[in-house]
Structures are given as structure tokens and as C-alpha cells.
Structure 1
Amino acid sequence: MRNKSFLKDLYSIIAFVVSGALCAGLIFLLYEKNENTLGFETTLKNLTTIFIGVSGFLSAILMVFLATSAMTLKSNKAKIIDKISKTTQKMHNFRSIAEIMFNSNIWLPGLKDYIEKEFAELSYFDVKEFYKGKSKLAIEFLQETHHYGETENIYLELKSLLMTSPKEKHIPENINYPVFYNNNIIDKWVEHKSGSGLWYVFGYKYGAYKDSINLEAIFERHQEKILTLANTIDGELFENSSFNEVFFAKLWEHLTKDVIPKLYQFQSQMQRKTPRLVRYLYIIFLLLMVFGVLLPLIYLMIDFSTWAIIVGYSIVISTIFYIAVTFHDFLSKEVNQ
């Protein structure tokens, strides 16, 4: 695959060099012809109107295409923003649930103090990335003999969902619910599958954890709020759910498999640059307009130097040659991107 990509890039470079050589060659030949052939300047001048017409026609087609593309991109962006807003609201609801659980008494006595004092500067992401050697605290944490029923990681994972930046170590008293989540935190959630540990515990290992994670310790009003938030996230999925480990397994599975991946997908789409095809055609449009329309018009209007029309002819012809030999390859790249 790399060899094919390299060959395609090499092909484009060769085509560009050949087009440049063609342009230089045409300038030289037309200049020589103009210098040595009587009446050649008149011939060029007579052809200029046709040249302007052809260039203008091609430019008009490209202008319509570019305008249509711009409108389509704007429409698509509006749709993506709408999707991001809906998915972001779902993420807000998940984080509200996480906040209730995080601040509740479901944890074994002493766990919060242990984590927040002994490992206050440690995050879930540090632990997951211990192999990078960036956090000595993470290595120390993993080597530590824990006494809280292996819920330390679950606590840190839940805490990671309340972060709005990977560098954040301390959760503020008032949790921040941004209009759009920072791409850096979304990348971390995706990379380390935040929520999957919670899904695993409630879905497959709750029997081993039920003495360490006491769901009944959550106040009844908070239980009702969690169920309401879940129904807001997906009314069909969480309809008639009971407040138990089965519900939480389904909840965190939905976060891991659906909400966070979609949030990542939609925000990635928002970050995409203008499609290469549009940029490619805009450059062609610009060259045609400047050297195929404007420069010849100036030449006709103020009897500009013959050099102007010679350069204009040469650049437009070499541009058309470059399009002819690279457009198919360029389209292939766009389709397979």
C-alpha cells in the first residue's frame, strides 16, 4: 500500500514538473515565434478573444461547482453541528450520572480519602499509560497493595468521565458541562475506552464487586434522577429499567459503544478541512481567471506587452495539460480517502 501511495505521489510530482517544463517551453517558443515571425502578434491578438471565451466558460463551470460545493459543505456542517449538540447533551447526562455516583456513598469507607490524598495527582489516563513511563505515580499505584476490593481503578475511571481536559487532576465542586467537549479529552476517552471498565464490572463481575460497590447507598431521589437521565439519553433502551447492576451494565455499554464513539466521529468531521478536490479545483479556477481571462483582458484594453498574453497562454495550456494527466489519479485518491 505504501509503495502504491509513493508511486501515485511520484506520478503527481512528475506531472507537475512536466507541466512546468511545458509552460517554460511554450513561453520560449511563443516568444521566439513572436520575435521572428512578422504578424504573429496580430495572430495572438485575434486569438485572444476566443482564448478569453474558453477560459471564461471553464471558469464559470468551476465557479458554479465551487459555489454548489460550498453550499453543500455548509449544509453538512449544520447537520453535523446538530448531531454534535444532541450527542453532547447525551454525554452531559452520562456525566451527571457519573457525578452522582462519584459523590455518593457507594464506595468502601476510606477509598475516597486514599485516592484523593495518596494519589491526588494521578488520573485514570496516567494509569492506563503507565508503560510510557511519564508518571512515576502511576507505577507506584499499580505496585501498591490495595485494600478496597479492586475498586480503585473503577473510582479513577468514573472520575475520568468528569474531566474536561486530560491534564485535569482535581474535579471541581461544580462540574463543567461545556457547549462542545475538547477534542483532547474525547481522544482520551476513546483511546482508553472510558466506561468499559464500569460496563465490565456491572455486566460480568458484579458478584465479586457487590460488597465493594453498594448501589443501595445512593439516595432514592438520586436513583430516580439517574433513571430519568437514562431515559433522556435513550427512552427506548432504558424504558422500564430498574435500578440495579443490569441497568448500569446497559448504561455504561451504551456510553462505550455508542455515545463516546459518535461524539468522536462527529467532532472529527467538524475538524475536517475543505475537501482536497474543492481546493484543487479552486486553484485551477484561480489560474484560469487570472491568466486566461483577466490578463488577456488587460492586454486588450491597454495594449499591454505581448509578454502578458504569451505567459497567459502558456500557463493556461500547461494547467489544462496537468489537469488532463492528474485528474483521474486525484479523483481516485479522493474516493479512497
Structure 2
Amino acid sequence: MTRKKLLNNHYALIPLVFSGLLVIAVIFLLWQRLATEPTFRESLQEYSGLFIGISGFISFSILVYLIVSVIGSKRVQSVSGGQASILIQKMNTVRQIIEILLDSKLWLPGVKEYIDDEFEGLNFFEVKEFYKGKSKLAIEFLQEKPSFKDTETLYLELKSLLMIDPKQKKLPKNLVTPTYFKTEILEKWIEHKCGSGLWYYFGYKFGNYKGSLDIEAIFERHQDKIMTLANNIDSELFEENSFNENFFSKLGEYINKDLIPQLFQLQNKTSSSVPKTIKYLYLLFSSSIIIGVLLPLITLLFSLNPIALIVSFGFVIGLLFFLVLTAYPFLNKILEE
């Protein structure tokens, strides 16, 4: 845990501890008065309306905030969902380009057979995480020295972009175009910078791999299809590009730095669960209703033991104290978000 997270936890915990101690102290003092003053029961009943009113007002205020927050979250999710759908479509278009490249004559003779047959079932993530010792096949792959000038690693990386699950061992014959990408596969793509291989092999180190990756060997009709697909992804970015190493370098950089991170962020917004702040506020709301309103009402209606009123009063006083201590940090957090 980082120092910042630890401090945040302390800031949330300290007011809770002090408020809890105050509740205990108030209950103890009121209970003592009840035990020593016979008329104190009437005083508790007299003030019960005030405390019920305070608790009701707090509950109503929290409820209004919860409703407004939920409506706001729905709006954000709706906008994010529309944007995520566009990015998912772009990602599927990128995967169509990758599929064409994997099936093309771009590669040295034997690369496809080496990966698809000799190392069938191996994926790029296992190779990158060989140090975890979970895949003997990944260790064997790294120990071998084939004569493909490391282009087999690029082939494996591109195959990973066609996966829809990080544990997937084999790609289907026909490309799957999901309407939603699992968080697990997006995290793996980001963690291992999938797509950056295109930038590395065709951009930064193209001079070293020029003789091992034959762009001109890709059929012309496939070249035209790839460029059409790229313009569908981003017409401004790829409009003036020709079918050459610079195009592939730019495509890889776009996949790694823009498309996948944005897709991950928007999908998380769309499918995110209830925020912790909302959960905590709902807990305060329900506690305030049950202990601050219902408990004293039931006690008064059925003439129950007045200790229930003491517990309710102590809780309301502690809740007010807690709100005073946490209001400023809470407002600061909202402004930051």
C-alpha cells in the first residue's frame, strides 16, 4: 500500500473512531442519568421528537444526494457507452488488419509453422511472463534460437491481439468480433504493450528487420483492403499514408498508446460498479433511518425500554459529529473528481 493510500485510510478512519467513542460516552452518561433520575425517562421522550427530526433531515439530505449521484452516473455511463462502442468497432477493425497480416506472405518461410504448429498453444502473454514459471513451453520458446531473426516474436504478439481471453490457447478459424472486450484481455494488452511491436519492427528498428519482413510480398488487393480499413479507423491519422513501413509504425503506436488505453478506460466507466462513496453514504442513510427514526418511533409506540432511546440519541449525536469531521474532506474529494 502506498503512503498516499495509507494516509487516506487514516483520514477516513480517525473521524469514525472519534465518533464511535463519542457515541459510547453519550450512551454511558445518559444511561447513568436514567439510573439515578426517575424523571429522566420523561425527558428522553420529550426530546425524542427533536432527534427524530434531526435524523430524518440527515437521511433526506443523503437520499437526495444519492439520487442526484445515480442520475449523474447514468449520464456518464450512457455517454461513455456510446464512445466505447465506437472504440470497440475500431479495435475490431484493427484486428481485421492484423488477421490479414498474419495470413499474408509478410513473414519469412517457416515462421507461421514454427509458432502455429511447433509451439501450438503458446501465447504472447506466457512468453512475456516466463519468469512466473507457469509455462514450460514459453521457457522452451525463449531457449531456442530459430533463424527467423526474432520476427516470430512479432508474429506471436500480433496473434495476441486476436485473442478475446488471456488464457486462450488457440484462435478460431474465423475472426471473432466481440461487442465487449473483457477487462482481463485489455489489461494484458496494456501491460505487455501489445501493438508496440509494429512500431518497433517497422519504425525504430526497421533497418534491422527490413530483410525479414517483406511488405511488398503482401498481395495488392490486401494492401488496398488494409488501407481502407485503416481509414475507417481514423481518416485523419492514416489519410496521407502509403502502404509502407511508416504506416505500420504509426498503426502500432496508435494501437498501443491511444486505442487500447482509451477503450480500457471507457469500458471501465460503462461497466463500473457502484462507487465506494455511494456505498458508504447508503450505509449512513440506512443506519440513520433505522437507528435514528424507526428505533425511537417503535420505542415510543410500544412503550419499550428507554435504553433504546438512549442508543438512538447517542447514534444521532455521533453521526452529526462524524459529518462535521468528514464534510470538508468529502467536498474536497468531489471537487477533485
TM-score (norm 2): 0.90
Q: Partner of 1:92 in structure 2?
A: 92
CA change 1:189–1:47 in 2 (3 A) is: same
Check conservation: 2:51, 2:316, Cα contact below 8 A: no
Q: Which runs of 5 or more residues in structure 2 are unaligned?
A: none
Shift of residue 90 of structure 1?
A: 0.9
Shift of residue 133 of structure 1?
A: 2.9
- Aligned pairs for 1:61-210 within 5 A: 61-210=61-210
What is the Cα-based RMSD across aligned positions, in Å?
A: 2.4
| Counterpart check, 1:49 vs 2:49 | yes
Q: Partner of 1:35 in structure 2?
A: 35
Distance in 2 (CA, whole Å) between partners of 1:2 and 1:123 is 33
Greater shift in the superposed pair: 210-219 or 230-239: 210-219
CA distances 1:24-67 after superposition (whole Å, capped 9, x unpaired) = 33223222322332432222222222222222122211111111
What residue identity is the alignment partner of 1:196? S
Distance in 2 (CA, whole Å) between partners of 1:126 and 1:38 is 76
What residue identity is the alignment partner of 2:35? E
Check conservation: 1:107, 1:214, Cα contact below 8 A: yes
Check conservation: 2:299, 2:309, Cα contact below 8 A: yes
CA distances 1:186-236 after superposition (whole Å, capped 9, x unpaired) = 111111101111111112333433332222232232222211111111011
CA change 1:127–1:335 in 2 (3 A) is: farther
Check conservation: 2:78, 2:270, Cα contact below 8 A: no
Q: Percent identity?
A: 47
Distance in 2 (CA, whole Å) between partners of 1:10 and 1:227 is 55
Q: Partner of 2:250 in structure 1?
A: 250
Shift of residue 284 of structure 1?
A: 2.0
Q: Partner of 1:288 in structure 2?
A: 288
CA change 1:195–1:129 in 2 (3 A) is: same
Shift of residue 168 of structure 1?
A: 1.6
Shift of residue 69 of structure 1?
A: 0.6
Greater shift in the superposed pair: 267-276 or 166-175: 267-276
1:146 is paired with a residue whose SS is coil
Check conservation: 1:158, 1:195, Cα contact below 8 A: yes
Distance in 2 (CA, whole Å) between partners of 1:138 and 1:7 is 41
TM-score (norm 1): 0.90
Distance in 1 (CA, whole Å) between partners of 2:63 and 2:216 is 65
Q: Partner of 1:235 in structure 2?
A: 235
Distance in 1 (CA, whole Å) between partners of 2:214 and 2:323 is 68
Greater shift in the superposed pair: 319-328 or 72-81: 319-328
Shift of residue 335 of structure 1?
A: 6.8
Q: Partner of 1:268 in structure 2?
A: 268
Greater shift in the superposed pair: 263-272 or 243-252: 263-272
Q: Partner of 2:314 in structure 1?
A: 314
Distance in 2 (CA, whole Å) between partners of 1:291 and 1:64 is 19
1:236 is paired with a residue whose SS is helix
CA distances 1:155-198 after superposition (whole Å, capped 9, x unpaired) = 11111111111222222101211111111111111111011111
CA distances 1:114-148 after superposition (whole Å, capped 9, x unpaired) = 22222113222222222333333223222322212
